Structure 1
Amino acid sequence: MIVRPGGLLLREGALLVMHYRYGGRDRFNLPGGNQEEGESAGAALIREFREELSLGIALGPLQFCVETNAGDRAVLHLLFRVEAPDASPHLDPGHSRALGLRWLQAAEVETAPLYPGIGPVVAGWLRGESLPSPYLGKVEQTWY
């Protein structure tokens, strides 16, 4: 199983996502990446934000835990609330194939092709709705 920590970074109520285009379709990933051997999930997330977005972050609480499949590989997403004093991320093309960065409002997150595919849950969280558990189980992920 691959462990992929991801970050929920907010600015004025909007969520930071990375914009990709696969098969002629847009997809928005929560910033983060795969955990490396011997690395904690928190350290991996801090490293990924620094490498891909040139941004230092402070790790906050775990908000969501969700399972997906990437082909024949199981992926466990650990999604943390993160803070960034600067909050001015800059995409580093040497570390990411993303086309750009976007700040999405809750209504956009709800319908966006988000990876992992929990847009409605994240949109509810952005609106202040609570969940009985941060564990969301396994979700089907649309791939292009």
Structure 2
Amino acid sequence: MPLHEPSPYEVLGVPPTAGVREINLAVGPAMRAARYTRQQIQDAAALLRNPDKRLESDLQQPLPPEPVDQAVGLLAPVLADPLLVVDRPQLPPAASFLAVHRAELAADFAEPAPAGADPEPPVPARFAADLSVLPQIEVPE
């Protein structure tokens, strides 16, 4: 499916300066090329033969973009600077990552005990208090 509706000039393969004679002669080759349907070709030829509709169509068609010959010169200041460079921090060594297994998470997401059975929920063994959680203290001599 085309992105835009083809102009009648594209359908017939004639320049915008084509006269009625050129338009009539272009219908046959356009039909044989079969790039467009028969109805599209006939509509394009009828539109271009009618001076009022042709002028209206010409005014509605967007102008083609003008070529930029100095594109390299215009973009030179932008291309001189490097593109955005993001400094990514180094990844820590694999040994420093903590691996949590599903069995360890089971205690965290276990259903609580019924009310009244135990006033405080049990603390999983991996969260039990020991000396590893205390900060190191330098003892003066």
TM-score (norm 2): 0.24
Structure (1/2) with the larger strand percentage: 1
Structure (1/2) with the larger helix percentage: 2
- Structure with higher Rg: it is 2
Q: Which has the higher contact order (CA 8 A, sep 6+)?
A: 1
